[in-house]
Amino acid sequence: MLRFRWTRTSRIVALCSFANFINSADRVIMPIAIVPMTDIFNWSLHSQGWIHSAFAFGYFTSQILGSFWATKLGAKKVLICSVLLWSIATFITPFLASNITALVICRIILGFAEGLGLPTIFHLFANSIPLEERSRAFSYLLASGSVGQTVASVLCPHLSWEACFYWFGSFGLLWVLLWYCFYPDDGYNDDTLPLLMPKVISHSICWADFIFSKPLWAIYTAHFAMNWSSYIIMQWLPTYLSSYLGGNAHSLSLTAVPYIVNSIFGVISGHVADGLLSNKSWSVLNVRRLMTCIGLVGPALFLAIFCVVDHLAFALILVSISLGLSASNSAGHLSNHVDVAPNHAGTTFAISNTIATIPGILCGPVTASLVTYSDGKWMSVFLGATFINLAGAFIYFTNSVATQVL
């Protein structure tokens, strides 16, 4: 019988991408399910905002821990525990929905568990993927997340809200089984992972080096700006389409379109970036800056137009282009971590993602307050995101580097 043989590196990329698929899908369930759940439990707009932000609060607290535990405890253990915990939290959500306090706590636990995932994956990628393949590896990783969001956006409006949590919680349990199938306990340990340590040896560093480096803050700022727009779209797009543009339960399936476009753009931008890097006239820094500017300035302009459109189909086209262009960031500032800190990419990403989770905490209550005080109008929400994106692009372009600083 014909059997396909994968290298360990290929398996890591595939399994990590599948983990990110589940991770990202779980985040989309609540923004869609909260529409029928609000009708059942009579939640106010502010209550919905805090339910959305509870996830980000948990996510905020675990980024640096994920990087630290991946180094000290081993990537296998951290990934298994995080996927298992977030899958259980997803699965039990319907049982806790009638009690908003219990639901918020469950969402915090979900966010905490999912926050452990990406820093661990970045640690693996930084130590196993060669420079000329990193852009596409990160693009595949992030594109898989967009595919997860797409699948959840298509399926969830056609399922009962309880079934959404049951199904995607079960997918996480399946991932744990697949991980054990690819890496059985007999003969497997973290030392056999293809963690090819970077050949660049860095000097002795301390935490201040991660905090006071201008090139790192350029990355942190760009990541913050990218996530501000992404969280607004992820958390509030179904509610916006339903309450402001008159979308029904069937049309909410169209919220999958932006994630489809994001997946396609992500893969394309990764290959374009690697192609430019193979061209001697393009430096790594210029490629990172180009992709980041496309990923921040482009979405800013389309969000500015989106906020004045009152036609459902046209609005979806604009937000899809916006989220699609945002995928270019995967070959921009997100890949820049392994350029500036090849031995510490997991840690720098953990810090960056921690800072970039602040928008997820703030977007819920801030959006609810802006819409309430504006008598139901959303223009200030999207114009604010436009300004933040443009500021992030400017700061990154003027302060970024592509040489090792740590």
Q: Please, are residues 31 and 239 in contact by the beta-carbon 8 Å criterion?
A: yes
- In this predicted model, what pLDDT tens digit does every residue of 331-387 receive, in sequence order? 899 989 988 988 787 788 888 988 998 998 888 889 889 988 888 888 999 999 999
- Whether 357 is covered by a domain: the verdict is yes
3 within some domain: no
Host H or E run for residue 176 = helix 161-182
| Domain limits for position 160 | 8-195+213-399
Q: How confident is the model at residue 275 (pLDDT cuts 50, 70, 90)?
A: confident
- The single residue listed with the structure tokens 């599948």 is 18
Are 36 and 351 contacting, i.e. CB atoms less than 8 angstroms apart? no
Rounded distance between C-alpha atoms, residue 165 and residue 237, angstroms: 19
- Answer with the residue of higher pLDDT: 176 or 127: 176
Q: Give percent of the chain above pLDDT 70.
A: 88
CATH of the domain at 220: 1.20.1250.20
Residue 201 lies in a domain: no
Which pLDDT score is estimated for 194?
Answer: 38
- Identify the top-confidence range among 11-15, 119-123, 146-150: 146-150
Q: Name the amino acid, one letter, at 141.
A: L
State the Cα–Cα distance between residues 338 and 328, nearest whole angstrom. Answer: 16
Query: What does 36-59 look like in DSSP terms, one character per residue?
Result: HHHHHH---HHHHHHHHHHHHHHH
Please give the model's pTM, rounded to 2 decimal places: 0.74
Q: Is residue 203 part of a domain?
A: no
Instruction: Say how many domains are in the chain.
Output: 1
- Phi and psi dihedrals of 7, rounded to 5? -70, 165
**Is residue 352, in this structure, part of any structural domain at all?**
yes
| Highest-scoring range by mean pLDDT, 19-23, 119-123, 191-195 | 19-23
Report yes or no on 291 lying in a domain: yes
Residue 15 — pLDDT band, cuts 50, 70, 90? confident
Q: What is the pLDDT of residues 25-58, one digit of tens each?
A: 998 899 889 989 998 999 988 898 889 889 988 8
CA gap 128, 110 in Å, rounded: 28
What percent of the chain stands above pLDDT 90?
Answer: 38
Question: What are the angstrom distances between the C-alpha of 203 and each of 200, 345, 350?
Answer: 10, 15, 20
- Is residue 4 over pLDDT 60? no
Residue 406 lies in a domain: no
What is the distance between the alpha carbons of residues 198 and 216, in angstroms, rounded to a whole number? 19
207 inside domain: no
Q: Convert the pLDDT of each residue in 210-265 to its tens digit.
A: 888 999 999 999 999 999 999 898 888 888 888 777 766 666 777 788 888 887 88
Report the chain's mean pLDDT, rounded to a whole number: 84
